[in-house]
Amino acid sequence: MTDHEIRALAAEVLAGIAPEADLAAVGDHEDLREALDLDSMDFLNFVIALGERTGRRIPEADTRQLFTLEGLLGYLRD
């Protein structure tokens, strides 16, 4: 996946979890949980949905890599 595709997918998934969340307003190094006011369940649902939509298994140990947009892009990039 390209960075553009990953950002679009993340925004789409977030829209279903936290409709008020604006991924475009988040900096690449900001903690997504804090910047988007996601509680632990919201973030877990975000990670699960990303895994389902990409067909990739995302182990719990890897979720820390997804805390920032930069980490998310690096993790899901082809």
pLDDT band with cut points at 50, 70 and 90 for residue 62: very high
- Euclidean distance between CA atoms 5 and 2, whole angstroms: 5
Predicted structure pTM score: 0.92
Check pLDDT > 90 for residue 5: yes
User: Where on the phi/psi map is residue 2: left (φ > 0), alpha (ψ -120 to 50), or beta?
Assistant: beta
**Averaged pLDDT score across all residues of the chain:** 95
Burial class (CB in 10 A: 0-12, 13-18, 19+), 75: middle
Give domain 3-76's CATH architecture.
Orthogonal Bundle (1.10)
Q: Which secondary-structure segment (H or E) carries 17?
A: helix 3-17
